[in-house]
Chain A
Amino acid sequence: MGFLDINNATKSYGSVQVLHEVDIEVEEGEFLVLVGPSGCGKSTLLNMIAGLEEISSGEIAIKGQVMNGVHPSKRNIAMVFQSYALYPNMTVGKNITFGLEMHGVEKSTRDAALGDVAKLLQIEQLLDRKPGQLSGGQRQRVAMGRALVRDPDVFLFDEPLSNLDAKLRVDMRTEIKKLHQKLGTTIVYVTHDQIEALTLSTRIAVMNGGYVQQLGTPKEIYDTPSNLFVASFMGSPSMNLIPVTVRVEGNAVYADTTTGDGSPAALAFAAPSEVLKSYDGKTITLGIRPEAITDPEGADRNSTHIQSVETMVEVTEPAGSDTFVTCTLGGQECIARMRADADVQPGQKMPFTINMEKAVPFDPETENRIA
Chain B
Amino acid sequence: MAVATQDSAVRTGRATRFVLYTVLLVFALFYLLPLFIMLVNSVKPLGEITGGSMIALPQTWTFEPWAKAWSEAQVGVEATGLRPYFWNSIRMVVPAVLISTILGALNGYVLTKWTFRGATVLFGLMLFSCFIPFQIVLIPMARVLGEIGLAGTTTGLVLVHVVYGIGFSTLYFRNYYAAFPTELVRAAQIDGAGFFQIFWRIMLPSSGPIIVVCVIWQFTNIWNDFLFGASFASGSAAPMTVALNNLVQSSTGVKEYNVHFAGAIMAALPTLLVYIVAGRYFVRGLMAGSVKG
Contacts and interface: CB of A to CB of B under 8 A. Distances in A.
Interface of A: 47, 50-52, 71-74, 77-79, 81-83, 85-89, 98-99, 102-103, 146
B279 to A, nearest CB: 26
Contacts, number: 59
Interface string B188-221: 1111110001000110011000000000000000
Given A85-B181, A89-B206, A103 B187 contact: no
B193 A98 contact: yes
A78 B192 contact: no
Interface residues of B, number: 16
B147 interface: no
Given A87-B202, A98-B201, A103-B192, 10 more contacts: A50-B186, A52-B186, A72-B190, A79-B186, A79-B190, A81-B183, A85-B187, A87-B201, A89-B206, A99-B190
A77 B190 contact: yes
Nearest to B181: A83
Contacts of A74: 192
A85 B186 contact: yes
B184 interface: yes
A72 B183 contact: no
B205 A52 contact: no
Contacts of A47: 186
A83 B193 CA distance: 19
A79 B187 contact: yes
Interface in B67-101: none
Contacts of A73: 189-193
B193 to A, nearest CB: 5
Contacts of A146: 187, 191
Nearest to B184: A85
B189 to A, nearest CB: 5
Contacts of B186: 47, 50, 52, 72, 79, 81, 85
A186 to B, nearest CB: 16
Contacts of A98: 188, 191, 193, 201
Nearest to A152: B190
Contacts of B191: 73, 98-99, 102, 146
10 contacts: A51-B190, A52-B190, A73-B191, A74-B192, A83-B181, A85-B183, A87-B202, A89-B206, A102-B193, A102-B197
Contacts of B206: 88-89
Contacts of B202: 87, 89
